[in-house]
């Protein structure tokens, strides 16, 4: 997968139009390079972040984003009995926003604007143990759903007329609703507890992720 992405990027890099031709380009599509670097270091649950931009005016763009993260792990071992564990995590975050651009230097631009985002994430872990005539299954699950406002400030560099990279820092102001659930199933007893919660959160992410974009 990583090799395919690099080949596509090189092909796009050499398929360059003239500067005059780029005036008619109204759309841009990009992705976060974090998925490439995470795979190099064999990290599980690599995030996928995609962004589609459409020019709506002079130095003004509508942007549509999608963030996805997922992982699943299963383990089984024997130690004075049989043990099995599993865990799953899924996160999805669509967004829509407005971006403005101001030229800074010959190939540099400042980006600023804001996104509205929806967020949903779910995680669960289960442990099953069996010993003689006793069986115990313990599971914990959590989900959160919410919405947020994400003002951002970034920097872009034009590598070619069609090809550029950017990075952004942003603040995330969000509210969410969630639930925690604990279940325990034994041979002679079952327990099922859950608790709802809601909250408000503000955090800041520095400009660490690099996006690669292609104009068309």
For the question of whether the overall pTM of this predicted structure is more than 0.85, the answer is no
**What three-state secondary structure class fits 61?**
strand
Q: What is the pLDDT along the chain (216 residues), one digit of tens a residue?
A: 555 454 545 555 555 544 445 567 899 999 999 877 665 444 444 589 999 999 999 899 999 999 999 999 998 877 666 889 999 999 999 999 999 999 998 899 999 999 999 999 999 999 988 877 778 899 999 999 999 999 999 999 999 999 999 999 999 999 999 999 999 998 778 899 999 999 999 999 999 889 999 999
- What is the Cα–Cα distance from 50 to 62, expressed in whole angstroms? 14
Question: Hey, where are the domains in the chain?
Answer: 2-215
Q: What Å distances lie between residue 34 and 41, 193, 212, CA to CA?
A: 11, 38, 10
């Amino acid at each position: 997968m990583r090799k395919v992405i690099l080949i596509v990027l090189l092909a796009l890099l050499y398929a360059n139009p003239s500067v005059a031709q780029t005036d008619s380009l109204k759309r841009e599509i990009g992705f976060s390079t974090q998925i490439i670097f995470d795979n190099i270091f064999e990290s599980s649950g690599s995030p996928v972040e995609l962004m589609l931009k459409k020019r709506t005016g002079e130095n003004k763009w509508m942007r549509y984003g999608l963030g996805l993260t997922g992982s699943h792990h299963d383990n089984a071992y024997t130690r004075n009995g049989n043990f099995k564990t599993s865990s799953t995590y899924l996160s999805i975050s669509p967004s829509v926003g407005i971006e403005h651009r101001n030229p800074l230097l010959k190939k540099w631009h400042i980006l600023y604007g804001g996104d509205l985002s929806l967020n949903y994430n779910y995680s669960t872990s289960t442990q099953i143990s069996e010993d003689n005539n006793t069986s115990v299954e313990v599971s914990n699950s959590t989900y959160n759903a919410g919405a947020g406002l994400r003002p951002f400030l970034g920097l872009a560099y034009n590598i070619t007329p069609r090809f550029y990279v950017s990075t952004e820092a942003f603040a995330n102001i969000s509210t969410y609703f969630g639930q925690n659930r604990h279940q325990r199933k034994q041979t002679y007893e079952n327990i099922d507890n859950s608790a709802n919660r809601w909250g408000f959160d503000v955090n800041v992410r520095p400009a660490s992720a690099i996006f690669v974009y292609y104009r068309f």
